[in-house]
Amino acid sequence: MKTLTTKDLNQLVFTYILDDCIPCVEDLRNEYNVSLINDKERVSFVYETFKENANHPYNLQRFPNEIERFGDWLRGVPGVMDVDQWNESQIHLAKKWGSIPQNATESQENKIVNNFYNFIANKFFQLKKRLEKREFLNA
């Protein structure tokens, strides 16, 4: 199994988030009546929706870490960001991305499943930061 660089893994996961998890511009426009034109705006919309839904006092106390709170929010299947919910799908993605070998042990697979939502949450925030930085650099 070829080990991916962090840059390569990020690109795979960022593409997964943008192409497979967050609805396209047209779907967001139709379903949520918002006018978004690019990836940064789509990611910002997801983030703002997350804050509206998940940043109530109980959740802020239960999950003081924003990434963990976002991961918990993803477990609740928010319509605005649809990640793979099935263990088998999560394991398949991890193998596809090279995070675990094709012949992974049950222990390796369990580690992926147990950490999947926080992993995607962490990558979402990295993507958000990258898109914000890109706009700053292009200004």
Domain that holds residue 26: 6-133
pLDDT at 1 over 70: no
For residue 12, being part of any structural domain is answered with: yes
Region 26-34: what's the mean pLDDT? 88
Is there a domain that residue 138 lies in?
A: no
| Region for 104 from its dihedrals, namely left if φ exceeds 0, alpha if ψ lies in -120 to 50, beta otherwise | beta
**CA–CA separation, 108 and 60 (whole Å):** 31
Q: Token pair of 126, please?
A: 């990295």
139 occurs within a structural domain: no
Contacts of 96 (CB under 8 A, 6+ apart): 12
Q: With respect to residue 21, please indicate whether it lies within any of the assigned structural domains.
A: yes
Calculate mean pLDDT across residues 32-39. 87
| 91 found inside a domain | yes
Four-CA torsion 102, 106, 110, 116, nearest 10 degrees: 10
pLDDT band at 35 (very low <50, low <70, confident <90, very high): confident
**Domains identified in the chain, total number:** 1
Within-domain flag for 113: yes
Quick one: how far is CA 96 from the chain centroid? 16
User: pTM score, two decimals?
Assistant: 0.90
